Amino acid sequence: MCGDCGKILTFPQKKVAETHCRNHGILPDSLVNEGSSMKPNDLGFLSIREIGCRQVKDRFTESFASVNILDYREQIAALKNMEADVPMLHPHARETSFKEFFKIKKVYSDILGMNYIDHFSINVAHPKFGMLVFSINPELAYTLYATKNGVEQDLAISPTFYNNLNFYFWEDCYKEEEKTSVMAKKEDMQGILSGAVIVKKDTGITYLFSFGTKRSKESFMQEITCSTEIYLQMGEYCLMKLQNEIDRYFYPSKHSGDISWIK
């Protein structure tokens, strides 16, 4: 339970929580309660109760545990008045989710169903090689990015937004005159009621953790706005599990196995 707001912040699935501990130096209360050998004082770990809903400044210096809605709305309004940049897609961006679907489904199943999450994808924006998409709904990227116009319309993957924000909702990025068309292709056809992006940047590469819900739009928006840090950690867990597959596309010569189709 959060010491600041009283919100219960635990991971229902132990392996997600254990990865969370190893990578982020935070011990979920759920593991303590289960009698885990790991204790809050081991290796200087802090529990989520001790951290509460404030910034974890020693690791996420630019991220936030909760979103300031007023600041967010002002930033969105300013960015929408700018000419949006169009992302450069990797030549295999539309196919990767199909090619890697077995591994994607296995990894993402650890978080799907939690915290109103029914859709998840990781978009990897490499400054030299372009953007790759690893989605639990492969047909989404394959259909939406089939044309240049589709890529231009989906401003949720535009550098204009992910280079200036750590968090944003999909629909807040779309142009008003194109919103209905984009949402029909990206959300309505998949039964997605709301989607949001959490941005992670590491060694020049940008990762877009994209979450969507098919259940309650209001509950999802409230949950991800209040608990952005928890969603970020779930995204990082999936990224860690898929890192080898991601690297194969950017650096095929360094990886063994069948990579003949990656050119």
Q: In the prediction, which pLDDT does 105 show?
A: 97
The better pLDDT of the pair 64, 134 is held by 134
The better pLDDT of the pair 146, 29 is held by 146
46 and 147 fall within a common domain:
no
pLDDT at residue 214 greater than cutoff 60: yes
What does the pLDDT average to over 135-163?
Answer: 93
Q: In the prediction, which pLDDT does 67 show?
A: 66
Q: In the prediction, which pLDDT does 12 show?
A: 42
Question: Taking all residues of the chain, what is their mean pLDDT, rounded to a whole number?
Answer: 78
pLDDT at residue 42 greater than cutoff 60: no
CA 242 to chain centre: 13
Q: In the prediction, which pLDDT does 70 show?
A: 77
SS3 sequence, the chain?
CCCCCCCCCCCCCHHHHHHHHHHHCEECHHHHHCCCCCCCCHHHCEEHHHHCCCCCCCCCCCCCCCCCHHHHHHHHHHHHCCCCCCCCECCCCCCHHHHCHHHHHHHHCCCCCCCCCCEEEEEEEECCCEEEEEECCHHHHHHHCCCHHHHHHCHHHCHHHHCCCCEEEHHHHCCCCCHHHHHHHHCHHHCCCEEEEEEEEECCEEEEEEEEECCCHHHHHHHHHHCHHHHHHHHHHHHHHHHHHHHHHHCHHHCCCCCCCCC
31 and 89 fall within a common domain:
no
What does the pLDDT average to over 86-105?
Answer: 96
134 and 19 fall within a common domain:
no
Task: Supply the CATH number for residue 218's domain.
Answer: 3.30.450.80
Q: In the prediction, which pLDDT does 27 show?
A: 33
* Residue 228, domain member (yes or no): yes
42 and 68 fall within a common domain:
no
Full residue range of the structural domain in which residue 35 is found: 1-52
The number of domains in the chain is 2
